[in-house]
Homo-oligomer: A and B are copies of this chain.
Amino acid sequence: MGRNLVYPKHAANTVNREKQRATYDLGVIHSIINSSPVLHVSFSPGPSEPFPATLPMIGQMGSFDYPSAGIDEPLDCYVHGYVSSRIVNLARASKGEGLPVCVAASKIDGLVLSLTPFSHSYNYRSAILHGYATLVTDEQERLWAMELITNSVVPDRWKNTRVPPTPAEMSSTSILKIKVVDGSGKIRDGGPSDERVDKSNEELSNRVWTGVVPVWETLGQPIAAPENKVAEVPEHISSHVSRMNEHNQAYAVDAAVRSKK
């Protein structure tokens, strides 16, 4: 019943356009990050390189020190990478707080089709985090983060596979922990917004269809590998597939008819 925790507004994370769609709420931002199968992690590769580098990575929000922390409490962002990849090498070599990174996640919920091209839009949820990435060296924390990340692909998958990892597996994979400095999110939902002058143009509104095409991610029927020997698709997979499909479709359709921000 308390107040929601919000990220501080710095120059880097303050939303200046369509402010009514902005959020700094930890719970909302962390949920967008956690429900995104791919995070785009950007960093500067060094002074001799003009372009930022961006990697698609898998990651999750969590707190090793307070594992019971809720999604709306301060959390770190854990991402995994190959032990000798550039981002891991830069994080390992970084002095001070770590490698400065930006984590971005975006999800399209609908195509918003209006009377004029300029009022076309998407319904979407997007979030960014700024923070410092360091290499996790504590073995217990690495194992915990690997379980967290594996279970983000399919809940309970970790305990339904061959664990614990072998020493070779542990040494080939690195975990980066991003200590979050600030973040922001932006959400658009609802139907099209047109200018009054266009809405009152009868020729136009009798000719142009307006509305929303909802968009969501579908998980298909699981396809067994040729080597698979387990006859039935296990419950932890089949229930995830049906739960996600229901949830994703319901969100996109609800977003389409929600009153717009």
Contact = CB atoms under 8 A, between A and B. Distances in A.
Interface of A: 11-12, 16-17, 37-38, 40, 42-45, 49-54, 56, 58, 82, 85-86, 100-102, 104, 106, 108, 111, 113-118, 120, 122, 124, 126, 128, 130-131, 146-147, 150, 153-154, 157-158, 160-163, 165, 169, 172-173, 181, 191-192, 194, 198-199, 201, 204-230, 232-234, 237, 241, 249, 252-253, 256-257
B102 A223 contact: no
A126 B54 CA distance: 11
A214 B217 CA distance: 10
Given A117-B158, A122-B37, A209 B192 contact: no
A223 to B, nearest CB: 5
Contact of A191 (B220, B226, B237, B253): B226
Interface residues of chain A: helix, strand, loop or mixed (majority): mixed
Contact of A113 (B157, B217, B256): B157
Contact of A102 (B51, B106, B206): B51
Nearest to A224: B211
B204 A223 contact: no
Nearest to A147: B117
A114 B226 CA distance: 12
A230 to B, nearest CB: 4
A79 B214 CA distance: 23
A255 to B, nearest CB: 10
B212 A223 contact: yes
B56 A126 contact: yes
A44 B214 CA distance: 34
Nearest to A116: B162
Contact of A51 (B12, B205, B233): B12
A101 B157 contact: no
Given A82-B17, A106-B56, A111 B217 contact: no
B220 A253 contact: yes
B215 A217 contact: yes
A214 B219 contact: yes
Nearest to A202: B229
A180 to B, nearest CB: 11
